[in-house]
Amino acid sequence: MYSRAYKTIVALPPLLWVGLFLLLPYALMFAHSFWTVRDGFIAHQWNLQNYRTLLANPVYLGVFLRTMRIAASVALCSLLLGYPLAYYLSFHSGARKELLYQLVIVPLWVSYLVRGYAWKTILGSEGVLNGFLRYLHVTTEPVSFLLYSPFAVVLVLTHIYTPFVFLPIYASLEHIPRPLVEASQDLGANPLKTFLRVILPLSMPGFIAGATFAFVLSLGDFLAPLLVGGASGTMIANVVQSLFGAAYDWPLGAAISVCILFITVGLLFATERLEKRWAAK
Amino acid sequence: MEYGEGGPVTPGSANSSAQATAREHPGLLEVRGIVKSFGNREVLKRISLEVVRGEFLTLLGESGSGKTTLLRLIAGFEQPNGGEIWMNGERLDTLPPYRRRVNTVFQNYALFPHLSVRDNVAFGLRVKGGAPSEEITERVNQALRMVKMSEYASTRPSKISGGQQQRVALARALINRPELLLLDEPLSALDANLRKQMQSELKSLQREVGITFLFVTHDQEEAMALSDRIALLRDGALEQIASPREIYSRPATAYTAQFVGQTNLLRCQVQAGCASCGGIAIVPAAGPEGPATFSLRPEAIKCFPEVPSGAPMMKFKATIRQQIYAGATELLEVECAGQYLRVRRTAGAPLSGEQEFSFSPDDAIRVRD
Amino acid sequence: MGCEMKGHAAPTRNPPFLTAYAALVFAFIYLPIAVLILYSFNRDGVGGFPPRHFTADWYRILFADSAIWDAVWNSLQVAAGAVALSLSLGLLAALALDRADFPGKALFRRIVLLPLILPGIITGLSLLMFAVFAGAQLSLFTVFLGHGTALISVATTEIFAGLQKMDRGQEEASLDLGATPWQTFWRITLPNLRLSLIAAGLLIFTLSMDEIAVTFFLIGRDNTLPLEIWGRLRRGITPEINAISTFIFAASVVLIVIWYRIRTRSIGAESSQVLERP
């Protein structure tokens, strides 16, 4: 029904644009990872030096591992918070489901920076939380580990990504036909067994999607560490940022970025495969 | 094969040129050897037929018979893999749909939800430009009056019923005065009563407007009620094309005999002008000798004691197996020497056991398999 | 997906533990924002407890702060441009994905999604390298290009969904009635996509206004709002920032309510419970 002219007109501009403004930049990043810096300039010599550095130098590895740990913690905590919330909304919220759903989504639209900043004001030694604790005479000295630590980063990122994790889990739960739950109870399974044997397995696609999102997005985050991470809460993206800034080693920064990219794409690819296998069962 | 922008646009409806065209080409549309495949499935197998100007022709067939595909080829939404379509002496299949003097009433009506009924109907006139807006308004009002939807002119399609939507779809198509109107199972979404009512409205509309209708349906009763001619399609080929009466009383093939109405198919052996089918004989039996199939309609078989006088009748005895009451008539399932037949008669007293039946040999039609 | 009983919870006793837990999670999500708003009225600063002296001074200072409003204006310009660019390219891409077969179609689909799934820093740096490679000066224009490109797939996904829902017969009917493909596109296809376009536009606008990661590396002399706030944070924290944040929060709420209304209108009442992620 659509002529060749029509199809060309619709396909060509986006293809060209994406090729020029996405494919090419990513390719440039990739290329840079194989170059080096010499005398303050980027030398276009192809080599694997950057990757060797990353593997050999324990500093980089250390930050990588810390980043993975933080990302995993964020994913875990977001799941612990987001799943029960989604479950409650889907199965027990009755008439207020619509309203509660909107309430969960609202924070998603509020600026990341605003939310991170809010925690900064809460967690500091002069912050709201410390003031609150002192007001209640629970402590006399300010609790210092709250801010400028990996704990703070995990806290902030969990806060940011819990609604993100909530969404696909909620969608999965809503897709479960209620008669299945009723059938399970009819056959003698109590709520816990019904949950473990029926609801949880059926909500796996959303579960996996949510966890992956939280992990992947936390992995490359550089804002939360800058806001609340301090020296001990630096993540790998901050290293990249400084390599493109003061430390001026674009090729090395590109190499790290390529690693992050591969981990991200690899993870998403793996979970996609998993979901397909799950759906086929 | 993509259509290009070639092919002359058929001229407008200046009366004298239309008459001249009609004289030259009584056949409005000619389908010549059309082949259409989807992937490696051949949906239309070198099908040819002619549509006569002013007639109500129905494409009848099961799903998968290719009738909708043929319609879409004529409308221009598909391209044939082989063959040609001609209209009024000019090539049609090389034209894009918006250049063809053909309009379609779609199965789900495809009314534009963001436009009112009036704007829907006016659409075809507005996009082609040319006509002044007073003329458009007048023609739209006329079209709405014709389908009795004037009071809904400002309503949106989502607010009117299925039957009403169908009328709007009709008006929207007819207002463009096409040479040929295609209707793709337009009544299938309506309930039974509404359907009957719309059938008769459609028929009188066609007579009144005089436009050639090409109608697609799988419902053979509907086809017989509406059509001047029926084209029965089977697996992408034309099985038979004839008037409803002829298709019913003189089916060409066993398939036709069974698809249009009910029938009994008798497998017989013909020899010396006489066909013998188990316990039943048919004399005289025309045609070559050897195995043959005869179609005998259930209402043609008479049940003793209703033996009409006059013409020589074939008689046979059969045992009554079932008597299915249907109000005005009843259907008897009888068995004669291992063969099962159906007999339709006006409802009467319960029967059982062996009875004598008779039929006129003229009613036994020899059919191809 | 054929079960009509989907989404209607069987009546169960309300488990108290779960309800309390859910309430706690809600509190966790909203507490920081509540604190933020509260302390925007606090005379003595962003910390400590309890806030003692109520004042609206910080808002007055905010109104007079021209640097902030310049940044807001910059952000609005960039966001408007990003919406225009993403919607146009996204519309074409959605049409292409829906109707055309071309070499590299699967690859295209993946690449266009990358900016959304990769950490923003990677896209930002890649675009920076490209800008340097092309010899471009960093400015609001480069930011606009970055946002517009990164957000194409938001538009594409939304519009593609709208296309799938559209009754194909309408375009056929339009052609059948004599409209050319061009006329059909303007009179039939676009009006049917209206809701998808608006929803996508709202989302792109919001994401652009809040964008930090990509913007960080493409910004020139003129700041967008998030980066202006960011700069302030380095210099010192005052409740003025709380005031700005409160404003941003209020604006976000308005936007999300509008977006939600549009979404539910386009999907229809019965299935409005199951929505994809925004």
Chains that touch B (3 or more CB pairs under 8 A): A, C
Average pLDDT over residues C91-109: 89
Whether the per-residue pLDDT at C3 is higher than 60: the answer is no
Average pLDDT over residues C95-103: 88
Place of tokens 């419970």: C273
C267 touches chain A (CB under 8 A): no
Whether the per-residue pLDDT at C275 is higher than 60: the answer is no
- Give me the pLDDT at residue B23, please: 58
Whether the per-residue pLDDT at B178 is higher than 50: the answer is yes
The span from the CA of B260 to the CA of B369, in Å, is 15
Whether the per-residue pLDDT at C278 is higher than 80: the answer is no
**How far is CA C51 from each of CA A115, C41, C58, C62, C233, rounded to the nearest angstrom?**
20, 8, 14, 20, 21
Tell me the pTM. 0.79
Q: Which chain A residues are Cβ-neighbours of C39 within 8 angstroms?
A: 121, 128
The span from the CA of B254 to the CA of A243, in Å, is 84
Q: Candidates 2.40.110.10, 1.10.3720.10, 3.40.50.720, 3.40.50.620; correct CATH number of C23-267?
A: 1.10.3720.10
Q: Hey, is A136 helix, strand or coil?
A: coil
- Give me the pLDDT at residue C94, please: 94
CA nearest to C254 within chain A: A106
> β-strands B314-326, B329-336: how paired?
antiparallel
pLDDT confidence tier of residue B117, bands split at 50, 70 and 90? very high
| Residue to substitute from A4, A22, A138, A238, interface C, most C β-carbons within 10 A | A22
Q: Let me know: does A247 contact A262? Beta carbons within 8 Å.
A: no
Evaluate whether residue A29 is within a structural domain.
Answer: no
Tell me how long chain C is.
278
Between chains, do A164 and C277 touch, taking CB under 8 Å as contact? yes
Evaluate whether residue A274 is within a structural domain.
Answer: yes
Between chains, do C179 and B110 touch, taking CB under 8 Å as contact? no
pLDDT confidence tier of residue B361, bands split at 50, 70 and 90? confident
The span from the CA of B330 to the CA of C47, in Å, is 93
| Phi-psi category of residue B272: left, alpha or beta, with phi > 0 → left and psi -120 to 50 → alpha | left
**Among A210-214, B134-138, B139-143, C111-115, whose mean pLDDT is lowest?**
C111-115
Q: Write out B82-146 in H/E/C secondary structure.
A: EEEEEECCEECCCCCHHHCCEEEECCCCCCCCCCCHHHHHHHHHHHHCCCCHHHHHHHHHHHHHH
CA nearest to A3 within chain C: C181
* Interface size, chain A vs chain C, as Cβ–Cβ contacts under 8 Å: 281
Evaluate whether residue A107 is within a structural domain.
Answer: yes
Whether the per-residue pLDDT at A145 is higher than 90: the answer is no
CATH superfamily of B262-367: Nucleic acid-binding proteins (2.40.50.140)
C161 touches chain B (CB under 8 A): no
Place of tokens 């209707």: B183
- pLDDT: which is higher, B49 or B273: B49
- Give me the pLDDT at residue A107, please: 87
Structure-token pair, residue C260: 């939600």
In this complex, which of B98, B107, B110 lies closest to C170 when CB atoms are compared?
B110
Instruction: Determine the residue type at C230.
Output: W
pLDDT confidence tier of residue B7, bands split at 50, 70 and 90? very low
Residues B244-290 have pLDDT tens digits of 999 999 999 999 999 999 999 999 999 888 888 888 888 888 888 88
CA angle B350/B353/B359 to nearest 5° reads 85
- Give me the pLDDT at residue B218, please: 93
Instruction: Determine the residue type at A277.
Output: R
Q: How far apart are the first and last CA of chain A?
A: 37
Residues A151-171 have pLDDT tens digits of 999 999 999 999 999 999 999
pLDDT confidence tier of residue C236, bands split at 50, 70 and 90? confident
How far, in whole angstroms, is CA A175 from its chain's centroid? 24
Between chains, do A1 and B77 touch, taking CB under 8 Å as contact? yes
Q: Which chain B residues are Cβ-neighbours of A3 within 8 angstroms?
A: 2-3, 96
CA nearest to B120 within chain C: C174
Q: Which chain A residues are Cβ-neighbours of B2 within 8 angstroms?
A: 3-4
Q: Which chain B residues are Cβ-neighbours of C194 within 8 angstroms?
A: 114
CA nearest to C192 within chain B: B114
Average pLDDT over residues A219-247: 90
Collect all residues from B whose CB is shorter than 8 A from any CB in A. Answer: 2-3, 77, 96
In chain C, the percentage of residues whose pLDDT exceeds 70 is 90
DSSP string of B257-288, one letter each residue:
HHHSS--EEEEEEEETTEEEETTEEESS--S-
* Interface size, chain A vs chain B, as Cβ–Cβ contacts under 8 Å: 5
| Residue to substitute from B10, B104, B119, interface C, most C β-carbons within 10 A | B104
Evaluate whether residue A184 is within a structural domain.
Answer: yes
Residues B186-234 have pLDDT tens digits of 998 888 888 998 999 999 999 998 999 999 999 999 999 999 999 999 9
A263 vs chain C: nearest CA distance in angstroms?
10
Whether the per-residue pLDDT at C87 is higher than 90: the answer is yes
Which residues have C-beta within 8 Å of that of residue C254, sequence separation ≥ 6?
Answer: none
Whether the per-residue pLDDT at C1 is higher than 50: the answer is no
Its domain, for residue A258, covers 50-280
- Give me the pLDDT at residue B13, please: 39
Between chains, do B110 and C172 touch, taking CB under 8 Å as contact? yes
Q: Which chain B residues are Cβ-neighbours of C185 within 8 angstroms?
A: none
In chain B, the percentage of residues whose pLDDT exceeds 90 is 58
| Residue to substitute from C168, C176, C190, interface B, most B β-carbons within 10 A | C176
In chain A, the number of structural domains is: 1
- Give me the pLDDT at residue B219, please: 92
The span from the CA of C45 to the CA of C237, in Å, is 8
pLDDT confidence tier of residue C200, bands split at 50, 70 and 90? very high
What CATH number has the domain bearing residue A126?
A: 1.10.3720.10
Q: Let me know: does C116 contact C158? Beta carbons within 8 Å.
A: no
Q: Which chain C residues are Cβ-neighbours of B109 within 8 angstroms?
A: 169
- Give me the pLDDT at residue B303, please: 82
Whether the per-residue pLDDT at B116 is higher than 90: the answer is yes
Domain range annotation of chain C: 23-267
- Give me the pLDDT at residue B260, please: 92
Q: Hey, is C137 helix, strand or coil?
A: coil
Q: Let me know: does C120 contact A237? Beta carbons within 8 Å.
A: no
Q: Hey, is B254 helix, strand or coil?
A: helix
Structure-token pair, residue A76: 């875990």
pLDDT confidence tier of residue B92, bands split at 50, 70 and 90? very high
In this complex, which of C172, C178, C192 lies closest to B124 when CB atoms are compared?
C178
Q: Hey, is C179 helix, strand or coil?
A: coil
If you ran DSSP here, which 8-state letter would residue B304 be given? T
The span from the CA of B27 to the CA of B179, in Å, is 12
Residues C124-160 have pLDDT tens digits of 999 999 999 899 899 999 999 999 999 998 999 999 9
Between chains, do B96 and A1 touch, taking CB under 8 Å as contact? no
Residues B314-357 have pLDDT tens digits of 888 889 999 999 889 999 999 988 889 999 999 888 888 888 88
A168 vs chain C: nearest CA distance in angstroms?
7
| Phi-psi category of residue A39: left, alpha or beta, with phi > 0 → left and psi -120 to 50 → alpha | left
Using CA atoms in the order B258, B260, B263, B268, what is the torsion angle rounded to 10 degrees? -50
Order of strands across the sheet with B41-52? B41-52, B27-38, B82-87, B90-91
**Among B10-19, B87-96, C258-267, whose mean pLDDT is lowest?**
B10-19
**How far is CA A62 from each of CA A57, A232, A240, B321, rounded to the nearest angstrom?**
9, 11, 14, 90
Task: List the one residue out of A236, A223, A259 whose CA is nearest residue A29.
Answer: A259
If you ran DSSP here, which 8-state letter would residue A227 be given? I
The span from the CA of C209 to the CA of C225, in Å, is 7
Whether the per-residue pLDDT at B60 is higher than 90: the answer is yes
> β-strands B212-217, B180-184: how paired?
parallel
Between chains, do A1 and B2 touch, taking CB under 8 Å as contact? no
Strands (E) located in chain A: 36-38, 41-43
In chain C, the percentage of residues whose pLDDT exceeds 90 is 49
Average pLDDT over residues B60-88: 93
- Give me the pLDDT at residue B6, please: 35
- Give me the pLDDT at residue C13, please: 56
The span from the CA of A119 to the CA of A110, in Å, is 14
In this complex, which of A101, A110, A220 lies closest to C33 when CB atoms are compared?
A110
pLDDT confidence tier of residue B27, bands split at 50, 70 and 90? confident
- Give me the pLDDT at residue A146, please: 79
CA nearest to A114 within chain C: C245
Q: How many CA atoms lie within 13 A of B354 on its CB side?
A: 6
Q: Let me know: does A26 contact C114? Beta carbons within 8 Å.
A: yes
Between chains, do A126 and C273 touch, taking CB under 8 Å as contact? no
Q: Which chain A residues are Cβ-neighbours of C275 within 8 angstroms?
A: 171
Evaluate whether residue A18 is within a structural domain.
Answer: no
pLDDT confidence tier of residue B110, bands split at 50, 70 and 90? confident
Whether the per-residue pLDDT at B9 is higher than 70: the answer is no
**How far is CA C171 from each of CA A270, B3, C163, rounded to the nearest angstrom?**
39, 18, 11
In this complex, which of A89, A93, A167 lies closest to C277 when CB atoms are compared?
A167
In this complex, which of A21, A159, A191 lies closest to C28 when CB atoms are compared?
A159
Structure-token pair, residue A141: 């000295």
- Give me the pLDDT at residue C7, please: 46
Domain range annotation of chain B: 15-249, 262-367
**Among A119-123, A245-249, C56-60, C154-158, whose mean pLDDT is lowest?**
A245-249
The span from the CA of B124 to the CA of B129, in Å, is 9
A105 touches chain C (CB under 8 A): yes
C164 touches chain A (CB under 8 A): no
B322 vs chain A: nearest CA distance in angstroms?
44
pLDDT confidence tier of residue B172, bands split at 50, 70 and 90? very high
**How far is CA A253 from each of CA A51, A248, A258, C102, C127, rounded to the nearest angstrom?**
10, 9, 9, 35, 14
Range of A194-198, C43-47, C225-229 with top mean pLDDT: C225-229
Q: Candidates 3.40.50.300, 2.40.50.100, 3.40.50.2000, 3.60.90.10; correct CATH number of B15-249?
A: 3.40.50.300
C166 touches chain B (CB under 8 A): no
A111 touches chain B (CB under 8 A): no
Q: Let me know: does B321 contact B334? Beta carbons within 8 Å.
A: yes
Chains that touch A (3 or more CB pairs under 8 A): B, C
Evaluate whether residue A261 is within a structural domain.
Answer: yes
Q: Hey, is C54 helix, strand or coil?
A: strand
- Give me the pLDDT at residue A235, please: 93
If you ran DSSP here, which 8-state letter would residue B335 be given? E
